[in-house]
Chain A
Amino acid sequence: MIAVVVVRDGLLPAGGAETVAECAGRAVLIGSQASIAAVALHGIAVELTLVERDSFQPASFAGDLAAILADESIVVLPASPDGRDLAPRLAAGLQRPLHAGATAVNADRVDLVRNGGRDLHRVVPADRFVATLQPGARGVIVEQLLPAPATRNVVSPATQLVDAVVTAVLPPDPATVDLAEAARIVGGGAGLDGPERMQQLAEIGLKLGASVGATRVVTDRGWAAHERQIGTTGVVVSPHLYMAFGIAGAVQHTSGLGDPAHIVSVNTDPHCPMMQLADLAIVSDANETIDALQALLA
C-alpha cells in the first residue's frame, strides 16, 4: 500500500498524514515544496518519494505518477479536494477500480461512507485498486522516536496534458476567518425548518461569543453562504465548544470539526453519529429548542 498526497506550498492537505499512516508510512508526495511537507510527516512516514511540481494539474500529475505507481497494487489518496480530483484520473490511467470515500482501507477490506454518511458499504477489493480515505476517519499517532523517513526525489520532466490554468490562489475567505479560528461554534443542519433558523443561531452565537457554521445540506439550500460550510470540502475548524442543531454528524462534516472539548447535539434521532459524539446529547426538536434557547439567553 502506498499513499499519494498532493502538496501545495509545502502544506499537507486534510487527511494527508492519516493517509500516509494508513499505508504504514509509505507515500509519494507530489506538488510544490514537497520536501517541506515531508518534514511534517516525521514520526509517521517511513519511506517517501518526492515529486516536485508547481501548480496542481490533475491530468498531468496522473501522467507523471502512472510510471511511479505501476508496481504498487494499492494506492490511497486523502479524500481532500485535490485527492478527490486526482484519484479517478489515476485509477483511469492505471486501469484499476476506484473506491472513493473510505474510512478504512486494507488489502482484503474497504469500508466506504455512503448516503450522506448514513451507511457504510463494505467491499472486498480486487488485488489492485485505488482508494481515497476520508479525512478525520482514522487519526494518527506521531511516534517521536521513529527515524527520519528514507526519501527519494524523482526528477522527471512533467507530462504535459490538457489541464485548466490556475490564474489565482485565494487565501481563506475573510468571511470564514472568524469560523476557522472560532473557539465556539453553533452549527445548523438539515434538521432546521427554515433559513431564518440560521439567523436565530447567529443571534444565539452573539450571546455566546460563538461563530455560526453549517452543514453541506444547509449551504446547498442557500440558507447559509458556502463559506459557512464546515467539513472536508468546507472550512476546517477547531473550536472548544461545538453546538450542533439538527446535524446528523456525517464523517464529511465531523472531519472538519477538529477535537472540540465539548459537543452539544440536539437531534430527533438519538442514534445518529452526532449524538454519539456529543457530551450533551438531547433528543428534542431543534427548531423549538432554538426558540427556547434564544428566549433564555435574551
Chain B
Amino acid sequence: MSEISPTTEIVVCLKWVFQVNEPSDARFAGMSPADHAALELALQCAEHIGGEVTAVTVGPLAADTVLREALACGVAHAVRIDAPTATDSADVATMIASTADKASWIWCGDYSTDNGSGSVPSFLAADLQARQALGVINVSFEGEGVSATRRIDGGRREVLDVRAPAVISVEGATARLRRASLAALRTAATAAIDVVTPATPIRTTQHTVHTYRPRARALAAPSASDALDRVRALTMSGATATAQHDVETLAPADAAARIVDALRDWGYL
C-alpha cells in the first residue's frame, strides 16, 4: 500500500458518453456531471494532499475530447485505453487498474449515464485491493485522508474515514468543475495523450435492445393502517404498474386548468 508522499498518484476515471437526449450525436457527447465532479475533486485532492492527477478513459479516438477537457482543467497526464466504451465493466476496471496500479487516490463518477451500473469503481477497488467509498455526496480533505459522506438506505447517510489507497465515486452535485483558462484550453488542444492498447481481451456482453417498459408488478399487500389507504392500496395500481388513462395533448393554459380540475375532482383542492 503506497504511503502518501508529494509524488502521490491521483487518477480520475472519465467516461465519454452520449447524452441520453442525443443518443447518436457525437457532437453532444462528453463527460457526465458525475465525472465532472470527480475531475474537480481529483484536482482538489492534488491541491490538498499533493501529487499529480492522471485522467484515464477507456474509449475510442473520439473519447480524447474528455481527456482534453481534463487537461485544460489542469490534470498532468492523460491516458486513453483504446477499447469500446461498451466494454464490460469488470474489464474496463481491469484495464484502468493496469495503468493505475500505483495510484493512491482514484476518483470516479458514481455511475455512467449510459451503462449506469455504478460497478466500475467497485471492480477497481477489488482489483487494486483498495478501500472504496461509493455514491458519495460530500467530500472534505482532512490531513492525509478524506472524509466522505455517502447515501445509504432510507435517506440516511454514512460518514467514512477514507485512507489511501482508495476509490471514491461521487455524484454530480458533489463539486462544480472549475473553468479552464484560455491558455490552458489552447495548450490542451494539442497536448500529448498516451494511447494504450489493452493487454486483456475486450469483452462486451451480447444483448438485444428494447425500449424500457415497466415490468408487470406484483402488488404489495396493504401495509397502510387507515381503512381508506387500505382500500386504495388494494384498488390502485402502484407507481410502477401502468395506469389506464388516455394521454391528453393540451396547450399550457388548458393543461394548467385541466390539472386544477383533476385536483378538485380528487379532493386535493
Contact = CB atoms under 8 A, between A and B. Distances in A.
Nearest to A257: B239
B114 A115 contact: yes
Interface residues of A, number: 117
Given A162-B129, A233-B135, A243 B118 contact: no
Contacts of A142: 220-221
B172 interface: yes
Nearest to A96: B90
Contacts of B268: 184, 208, 241, 262
Given A169-B158, A208-B263, A282 B250 contact: yes
Given A92-B123, A139-B220, A282-B255, A164 B160 contact: yes
Contacts, number: 329
A114 interface: yes
A283 B250 CA distance: 6
Interface in B226-269: 232-233, 236-243, 245-260, 262-263, 266, 268-269
B77 interface: no
Contacts of B54: none
Contacts of B6: none
Given A80-B153, A97-B90, A166 B239 contact: no
Interface string A223-235: 0011100000111
Interface string A58-78: 110010000000000000000
Contact of B242 (A123, A165, A257, A277): A277
Contacts of A250: 212
Candidate in B114, B152, B172, B258 with the most chain A CB atoms within 10 angstroms: B152
A261 B236 contact: yes
B150 A81 contact: yes
B157 interface: yes
Interface stretch (A46-54, A151-159, A194-202, A268-276): A268-276
A96 B253 CA distance: 55
A220 interface: yes
Nearest to B149: A170
Interface in A210-238: 216, 219-222, 225-227, 233-236
B262 A270 contact: no
B151 to A, nearest CB: 5
A164 B167 CA distance: 10
B214 interface: yes
B243 A169 contact: no
B125 interface: yes
Given A92-B90, A283-B249, A296-B256, A140 B212 contact: no
Interface majority SS (helix, strand, loop, mixed), chain A: mixed
B172 A297 contact: no
A61 to B, nearest CB: 12
Interface residues of B, number: 102
A98 interface: yes
A276 to B, nearest CB: 5
A219 B150 CA distance: 15
B245 A280 contact: yes
A112 interface: yes
A180 B253 CA distance: 31
B173 A103 contact: no
Task: Name, among B130, B243, B258, the residue most crowded by chain A CB atoms within 10 Å (CB to CB).
Answer: B243
A180 B257 CA distance: 28
B65 interface: no
B154 A89 contact: no
A120 B209 contact: yes
A168 B157 CA distance: 8
Contacts of A164: 131-133, 148, 160-163, 166
B211 A119 contact: yes
A220 B33 contact: yes
B176 interface: yes
B90 A118 contact: no
B135 A279 contact: no
Interface stretch (B7-15, B99-107, B185-193, B200-208): B200-208
A167 to B, nearest CB: 5
Contact of B132 (A59, A171, A255, A262): A59
24 contacts: A8-B152, A88-B122, A100-B116, A121-B210, A137-B240, A162-B130, A164-B160, A166-B158, A166-B159, A170-B156, A173-B155, A226-B137, A227-B155, A241-B263, A258-B238, A260-B239, A273-B212, A273-B214, A280-B245, A283-B247, A284-B249, A289-B252, A289-B256, A296-B257
Given A226-B173, A241-B263, 13 more contacts: A58-B125, A81-B151, A98-B119, A98-B123, A113-B212, A121-B208, A122-B207, A166-B161, A180-B155, A219-B173, A259-B236, A283-B250, A284-B255
Interface of A: 8, 11, 13-14, 21, 56, 58-59, 62, 80-82, 84-89, 91-93, 97-101, 103-104, 111-124, 136-142, 161-173, 176, 180, 184, 190, 208, 216, 219-222, 225-227, 233-236, 240-243, 250-251, 254-255, 257-264, 266, 270, 273, 275-285, 288-289, 291-293, 295-297
